[in-house]
Structure 1
Amino acid sequence: MRPGGNRGWLLRLVIAFSFAQGAVSMARPAVSYRALALGADERAIGVIAGVYALLPLFAAVPLGRRTDHGRCAPLLPVGVVLITGGCALSGLAGSLWTMALWSGVMGLGHLCFVIGSQSLVARQSAPHEQDRNFGHFTIGAALGQLVGPVAAGALIGGGDMAGSSALALIVAGATAAVAFTSLWRIEHRRTASASRPDKGDRIPVGGILRTRGVPAGIFISLAVLSATDILTAYLPVVGEHRGIAPSVIGVLLSLRAAATIACRLVLTPLLRLLGRTLLLTLTCLLAALLCAGIALPVPVWALGLLLVALGFCLGVGQPLSMTTVVQAAPDDARSTALALRLTGNRLGQVAAPAAAGLIAGVAGAAAPFVLLGVLLLLSSGVAVRSPREPEDAEEPEEAEGTKEREETDDPDEAAEPDASEDAGGEVPEARRSLGRG
């Protein structure tokens, strides 16, 4: 089937991702509140938030290698099972150590789901459709981030913080399980079988990382996700210090997510107006200033405005960094390149909360947002030096895709860019630049 010809699979993927991400977004602040109720301080919150990313840190590249040489879809139900178990068992945990453990399981499940789904979008989208499809795909994440914190804020509170946060975590586990209902016929069978390169011809990880554009996409993604992650984990702590109720914190986090959805709905016209490089640079720069603004003792209404603007700016980084990595990487190492991007994300999720916990313990709960401002400022510098985007010539890319489809009798095989080299096509420039590995 021609990429983009029937995007029912993309809609089902967005729905499943909405429930999976909604469960995680509901669980992350609930974990923070439950840990506070069990006696955790700012440093302990940082450690628990970092453990969420620790297991995925070691699993990302092997999972990416496996997906490059096989199907994407099997990772999705595995991810849902792990998210469901991690959320529910975090709610039943009675100590900070067990909470950290189940938080890590939740993070591993999220990684499995994201690697499988991102690889699916890359594999089943034509090159000129990738910015749009990745933008639509990440709307699922933003929808989950919109509903999850509000649900957590509605359930958490009152006199029993430990019990209400445990209930929120169990409800989050049930929410994740709903994602199973959308995981049917999500991967084109012929496309999956046509996209399996020779397992013996693996491009080294170092070679992928040396490909121009891949490191830039990884760093931008790391900075943007670290900002989102610390915002989710530490805004409840800021609320506790400033006397803001958990329900209000949930609304503020959801306002940020709503702005991200709005950004991704208008991503295509923004790209036509500014181009990928300028758009990434400007939004990272503005996000840096807005993150630093959160550290100021502003009233709740001003904090809401800051978060809305920040959510809009952060909405650009994730989908465009995915496209940057996919289009820069060799065709038969796309899933591995996406896994390396996720590894960078998890490195940020381990290091940034740990650093934030240390800073918060010394300088106060709002200080980590200054750290995020510095990180996003660096990412804007990386974005401005990234290679020019190929979508400036969208029509030639589409014509090239049409030519490739005309060279094969199987339209499903032609729809998959990963199969071009195996079918005797021209070796992509990114692959030639690696030499023989």
Structure 2
Amino acid sequence: MRHGSSGPGRTWLLRLVIAFGFAQGAVSMARPAVSYRALSLGADERAIGVIAGVYALLPLFAAVPLGRRTDHGRCAPLLPAGVVLIAGGCALSGAANSLTAMAAWSGVMGLGHLCFVIGAQSIVARQSAPAEQDRNFGHFTIGASLGQLVGPIAAGLLISEQDGAMARTSALALTAAAAVAAVACTSLWRIEHRAPSSGTGRDQGAVGVSPCSSEAENSGNPVRRILRTRGVPAGILISLAVLSATDILTAYLPVVGEHRGIAPATVGLLLSLRAAATIACRLVMTPMIRLIGRTALLVATCLVGGLLCAGIALPVPVWGLALMLAALGFCLGVGQPLSMTTVVQAAPDGARSTALALRLTGNRLGQVAAPASAGLVAGVAGAAAPFLMLGVLLMGAAGLATRGGLRSQRTIGTPGAKHAQKAHAQHRAG
């Protein structure tokens, strides 16, 4: 079955990528703007770490309940709800005049991003045949990378340090981010395939999340059972490490730029260069998987990414920093889509949205703990020290993948994938 043919029309994935691009663009524009606005209000490195951590605090508690709801319901309503929360969090962060208020609205923004991502990932899992999942999740995450490419550039162009204008211009950037988020709603029409009637069973060979799973089915798949499933914990931890690297890079590169005399516009270009390299990686990810395999690719990219993160702590010139960030962006592009596929394929039937939500819970736990730890480290050892911490975290993820914690079944081109894809196609045809 060709890409895009299993959803409502042939454009559902493209429209989902576009919507994700705008939603992620708003968040990627807002995150450095929040850091600059907090700096203008007198925040130090520790306060920046706390504000970045609060972004993930509400999602930490909401992810699993949202995932379990999605396992036996529709995914699409989470998308506009997420957009509203992102836009509101951005706009209210721009209007806030205290660090406490900024932290609170940053948390609202994070909750909106979580709602959008759980709904969108579950749609991709439901509407993709097994052998299409690496590719479709890779294409889906291109939307995030596009947002991460454009957002920091836009923030850097709007924010100015001259004549004490940082407070005003960072507020302007946050207001613009809210408008960008609202545009995401324009591509969310008929994005989700309607569930079959209750009398129609789903083929057990299909990997997609069952939209008509009952409470009884989900009660047989408790969280502890999902977490004990081989491949799920490794996928969660690798995703945590990769996202923590991206998140701290976004939050702390402005701080590093302040210490090294790098202008906000240049910092925005550096962050966007990292995102562009991530897009390039995801465009060629399927051939790389075929060439060296999923596990080897994860190990290599986490290891090299860890070394590059540690290198950012060195006092290199801007051109050297640009080269390192481009290579780092390419390496970080692998972890997120492959961890999604790993978790979806390893999770029990009828609980895949919950498994994806557990993966997002791990991500948000990392987004709470990593910035808080980074703030402590930066307060003691300087603004570049968090990147050394990230290097250790990514190397640990490489070691986890090396130990064989990831399942490699049903990858592209394997007999299992072809059999499952055939079953999925037969189910759709029926």
TM-score > 0.5 by shorter chain = yes
Residue 402 of structure 1: CA displacement?
2.1
User: Equivalents in 2 of 1:296, 1:326: separation in Å?
Assistant: 38
Please give the root-mean-square deviation of Cα atoms over the aligned residues, in Å: 1.5
2:138 to 116, 135, 139: 135
Contact persistence 2:29–2:154 (CA under 8 A): yes
Q: How far, CA to CA, are the matches of 1:141 and 1:121 in structure 2?
A: 14
Of 382, 386, 393, the residue aligned with 1:375 is: 393
Alignment-derived partner of residue 178 in structure 1 = 183
Kept in 2, the 8 Å contact 1:124–1:191? The answer is no
Q: Distance in 1 between matches of 2:59 and 2:197?
A: 24
- Taking the TM superposition and a 5 Å limit, the aligned residue runs for 1:17-36 are 17-36=20-39
Equivalent of residue 147 in structure 2, options 126, 144, 147: 144
Describe the shift of the 1:30–1:276 C-alpha distance in structure 2 as closer, same or farther (beyond 3 A).
same
Q: Compute the displacement of 1:191 (Å).
A: 5.3
Tell me whether 1:113 sits opposite 2:129 in the alignment.
Answer: no
> Matched residues in 1 for 2:142 and 2:395: separation?
25
In 2, are the aligned partners of 1:64 and 1:115 still within 8 Å (CA)? Answer: yes
- Relative distance call for 1:350 and 1:402 in structure 2 (3 A) is same
The change in CA–CA distance for 1:388 and 1:101 in structure 2 (over 3 A counts) is closer
Q: Deviations over 1:163-209 (max 9, x none)?
A: 00000000000000000100001001135976211212321100000
1:53-72 deviation line (CA, Å, top 9, x unaligned): 00000000000000000011
Q: Per the alignment, do residues 336 and 71 of structure 1 end up closer, same or farther by CA in structure 2, a change over 3 Å counting?
A: same
Write the distance in 2 (CA, Å) between the matches of 1:404 and 1:235: 45
Q: Tell me which residue corresponds to 2:102.
A: 99
Question: Any conservation in 2 of the 1:135–1:267 contact (CA below 8 Å)?
Answer: yes
1:403 positional shift:
3.8
Q: List structure 1 runs of 4+ shifted beyond 6 angstroms.
A: none
Q: Look up the match of 1:62.
A: 65
Aligned to 1:252: 270
Pair 1:389-2:408 in alignment: yes
User: Hey, what's the Cα distance between the residues in 2 that align with 1:401 and 1:252?
Assistant: 40
- Identity in percent: 76
3-state SS in 2 of match to 1:70: coil
Moved more, 5-14 or 355-364: 5-14
Q: Distance in 2 between matches of 1:242 and 1:181?
A: 41
Deviation readout 1:295-350 (Å, 9 max, x if unpaired): 00000000000000000000000000000000000120000000000000000000
| Structure 1 residue identity aligned to 2:395 | L
Write out aligned runs for 1:194-213 (5 A): 195-201=211-217, 202=219, 203-213=221-231
AA partner of residue 195 (structure 1): P
Query: Is the contact between residue 59 and residue 111 of structure 2 (CA under 8 Å) also seen in structure 1?
Result: yes
Structure 2 counterpart of 1:435: none
CA distance in structure 2 between the aligned counterparts of 1:403 and 1:41, rounded to whole angstroms: 56
Offset at 1:356? 0.3
Structural mapping, 1:157-176, within 5 Å: 157=160, 158-159=162-163, 160-176=165-181
Provide the C-alpha distance between the structure 1 equivalents of 2:356 and 2:123, rounded to a whole number of angstroms.
11
Say whether the 8 Å CA contact 1:277–1:386 is kept in structure 2. Answer: no
SS in 1 for 2:213: coil
Q: Which amino acid aligns with 1:361?
A: G
What is the one-letter code of the residue matched to 2:120? S
Aligned residues of 2:308 and 2:391 also touching (Cα < 8 A): yes
Q: Which amino acid aligns with 1:196?
A: C
CA contact (8 A) 1:226 1:345 kept: yes
Native 8 Å contact 2:346 2:407 kept in 1: no
What is the CA–CA distance in structure 1 between the aligned matches of 2:173 and 2:99, rounded to whole Å? 17
The aligned residue for residue 192 of structure 2 is: 187
Cα contact 2:131–2:413 (8 A) shared by 1: no
Mapped to 1, the partners of 2:133 and 2:227 lie a distance apart of 21
TM-score, normalisation: structure 2: 0.93
Q: 2:125 matched to which residue of 1?
A: 122
Q: Note the residue ranges of structure 2 that are not aligned, 5 or more in a row.
A: 199-209
The size of the alignment, in residue pairs, is: 410
Partner-residue secondary structure (3-state), 1:10: helix
Distance 2:330 2:17 in 1: 19
Q: Distance in 2 between matches of 1:17 and 1:236?
A: 24
Change in 2 beyond 3 A, CA 1:7/1:315? farther
| Cα pair 1:53 1:346 within 8 Å, conserved | yes
Amino acid at match of 2:31: R
Superposed CA offset, 1:216-268 (max 9, x none): 00000000000000000000000000000000000000000000000000011
Paired residues of 2:378 and 2:384 also in contact (CA < 8 A): yes
What do the CA deviations read for 1:84-115 (whole angstroms, capped 9, x no partner)? 00000000001000000000000000000000
- Equivalent residues of 1:145, 1:254 under 8 A apart: yes
Give distance in 1, aligned partners of 2:69 and 2:3. Answer: 22
Opposite residue 214 of structure 2, the aligned amino acid is: D
Change (3 A) 1:392 1:145: closer
2:4·2:11 contact (CA, 8 Å) conserved in 1? no
Shift of 1:397: 2.3
Contact 1:359 1:367 survives alignment (8 Å): yes
State the alpha-carbon separation in 2 of the partners of residues 209 and 83 from structure 1: 29
Unpaired segments of 5 or more residues in structure 1?
415-437
Tell me, in whole angstroms, the C-alpha distance in 2 between the residues paired with 1:13 and 1:221: 21
Q: Is the 8 A contact 1:64 1:335 kept in 2?
A: yes
In the alignment, is the contact (CA less than 8 A) between 2:129 and 2:425 conserved in 1?
no
Q: In 2, Cα distance between the equivalents of 1:88 and 1:219? A: 32
| Paired residues of 1:280 and 1:383 also in contact (CA < 8 A) | yes
Looking at structure 1, the residues matched to 227 and 185 of structure 2 have their Cα atoms a distance apart, in angstroms, of 34
2:242 corresponds to 1:224: yes
SS of 1:72's equivalent?
Answer: coil
Please say if residues 159 and 170 of structure 2, whose CA atoms lie closer than 8 Å, have aligned partners that are also in contact: yes
